[in-house]
Amino acid sequence: MKYFVITDSIDTQVGLRLAGIEGVVVREEGEIRAAVQKAAADPEIGVLLVTERLARQCADLIAPLKLTAHTPLVVEIPDRHSAGRSSDSITRYIREAIGVKL
User: Does position 86 have pLDDT exceeding 60, yes or no?
Assistant: no
85/54: higher pLDDT? 54
Rounded to two decimals, the pTM is 0.78
Dump pLDDT digits (tens) for 31-54: 999 999 999 999 999 999 999 889
Please compute, for residue 3, the number of CA atoms within 13 A of its CA located in the half-sphere on the CB side: 19
Question: pLDDT at residue 102 above 70?
Answer: no
Query: Dihedral through CA 58, CA 63, CA 17, CA 3, nearest 10?
Result: -150
Q: Is the pLDDT of residue 100 over 90?
A: no
The answer to whether the beta carbons of residues 85 and 78 sit under 8 Å apart is: yes
Respond yes or no on whether the N-terminal peptide bond of residue 43 is cis (omega within 30° of 0): no
Cα distance between residue 55 and residue 68, in whole Å: 16
The proportion of the chain whose per-residue pLDDT surpasses 90, expressed as a percent, equals 56
Mean residue pLDDT of the chain comes to 86
Question: Model confidence at 70, in pLDDT bands (50, 70, 90)?
Answer: confident
